[in-house]
Amino acid sequence: MSKRSDRESLEQYSRFADALIEAASKDELACCARLLALGLARYRAAYGDLPEVESRVLMESETRALVNARALAEGMKNLVSTLARISHQADPVSRN
């Protein structure tokens, strides 16, 4: 991450993702979902499953804002980069 806060990064990547999702075709979104699923499968093969309780806690707004902004920002960064590549858009993440 750069000098900006993890929360600012998360908000910026979320805006990028929203714009790319809005512009993407159904096929591009499906391809992106498959690639991200492959990355998750590789993670699970190497490190095991993230417990369901932990997954739910990650998405709770207070927890997200206070503890997990960095992890969520990295996830959003991955989503934005993947979708930008698939949809042949300039990757806004590479400029940051």
Q: pLDDT tens for the chain, 96 residues: list them.
A: 444 688 888 899 999 999 999 999 999 999 999 999 999 899 889 988 876 666 666 666 555 565 677 888 888 999 999 999 999 887 777 655
pLDDT reported for residue 72 = 81
pLDDT for the residue numbered 2 = 46
What pLDDT is attached to residue 56? Answer: 66
Length, in residues, of the chain: 96
Dihedral angle at the C-alpha atoms of 82, 40, 59, 21, nearest 10 degrees? Answer: 20
C-alpha distances in angstroms, 23 versus 35, 72, 86, 88? 18, 22, 12, 11
Q: Tell me, what amino acid is at 65?
A: A
Q: What residue has token string 């991200």?
A: 36
